[in-house]
């Protein structure tokens, strides 16, 4: 039996589908299933049970002997949210409870971290554990992921097999419920369909032109392949970056979306919203 937290979300639901394609149907899906926008993500999926995230630990206490692996992909991912209590509860505290349970019951664990821990990148993007003390996230979301990574590395008791994955900019199907936090690819495609052009954030940083902000965009299926690899290669004890290794500009990405849609590129710029401007990652 495999547990997937955040199973109704973007990456979680795609991984459920990926596992189904590989013949894995004995899955326990953990999430807040009361969110109507996420229901379509699980349509047609095969699984054994749904467990609300608030009830998960009581369920695991009773059924841990049936569980072989936990993929902890659930998190609050809104980088524009500045209520630190939300992130402390759902990203740091909840993850600590997942970790402790996996240690207690001898369950393998892979969890989702984030490239947001690197902040503006002034100290580079190496996933070498020795770099941890120098990292400076830009927002409470990045802080929460950083705090759990640091906590996990400091623990004497660890799952016999564990890995943290720092997702870079993942895109693909099942993003629609994320609204403002959906990928640039998602927003660009829908802007093109609805308005005939793509709007990007203007640069507010000296030396960087409009549209020259860069991200490492990685397709969700490639993320799922790595998760699946770690399911079968259980000798890890580390935190890894998970991206392509190459940063592309927003302008080039928008241009490719246009070309893929068979239309001439039409790209305009607007100011970066004031509430995120000072904490915006340019690379």
The tokens describing 111, both together, are 């969890």
The tokens describing 247, both together, are 């940063």
Rounded to whole angstroms, the Cα distance separating 30 from 4 reads 6
Strands 169-171 and 217-219, by their bridges, are: parallel
Which of 94, 111, 125, 141 is labelled catalytic? Answer: 141
Number of neighbouring beta carbons within 10 Å of residue 193: 9
Contact between residue 198 and residue 185 where contact means Cβ atoms under 8 Å apart = no
Rounded to whole angstroms, the Cα distance separating 11 from 72 reads 11
Catalytic site includes residue 39: no
Residue 83 phi/psi, 5-degree rounding, is -85, 100
Query: Alpha-carbon dihedral of residues 166, 168, 172, 173, nearest 10 degrees?
Result: 40
Which of 136, 158, 178, 205 is labelled catalytic? Answer: 178
Catalytic site includes residue 178: yes
Task: Give the catalytic positions in this structure.
Answer: 141, 178
């Amino acid at each position: 039996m495999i547990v997937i937290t955040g199973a109704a979300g973007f990456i979680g639901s795609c991984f459920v589908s990926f596992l189904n394609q590989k013949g894995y149907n004995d899955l326990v899906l953990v999430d807040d299933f009361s969110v109507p926008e996420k229901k379509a993500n699980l349509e047609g999926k095969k699984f054994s049970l749904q467990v609300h995230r608030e009830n998960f630990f009581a369920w695991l206490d009773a059924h841990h002997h049936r569980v072989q692996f936990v993929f902890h992909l659930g998190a609050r991912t809104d980088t524009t949210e500045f209520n630190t209590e939300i992130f402390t509860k759902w990203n740091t505290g909840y993850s600590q409870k997942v970790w402790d349970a996996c240690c207690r019951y001898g369950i393998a664990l892979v969890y989702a971290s984030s490239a947001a821990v690197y902040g503006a990148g002034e100290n580079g993007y190496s996933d070498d554990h020795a770099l941890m003390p120098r990292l400076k996230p830009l927002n409470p979301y990045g802080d929460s992921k950083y705090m759990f990574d640091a906590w996990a590395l400091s623990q004497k008791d660890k799952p016999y097999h564990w890995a943290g994955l720092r997702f870079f900019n993942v895109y693909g199907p099942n993003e629609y419920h994320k609204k403002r936090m959906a990928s640039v690819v998602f927003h660009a495609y829908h802007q093109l369909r609805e308005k005939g052009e793509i709007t990007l954030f203007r640069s507010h940083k000296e030396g960087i032109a409009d549209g020259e902000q860069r991200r490492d965009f990685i397709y969700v299926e490639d993320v799922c392949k790595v998760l699946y690899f770690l399911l079968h290669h259980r000798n890890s004890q580390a935190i890894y970056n998970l991206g392509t290794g190459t940063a592309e500009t927003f302008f080039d990405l928008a241009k490719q979306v246009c070309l893929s849609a068979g239309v001439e590129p039409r790209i305009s710029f607007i100011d970066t919203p004031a509430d995120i401007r000072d904490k915006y990652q340019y690379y």
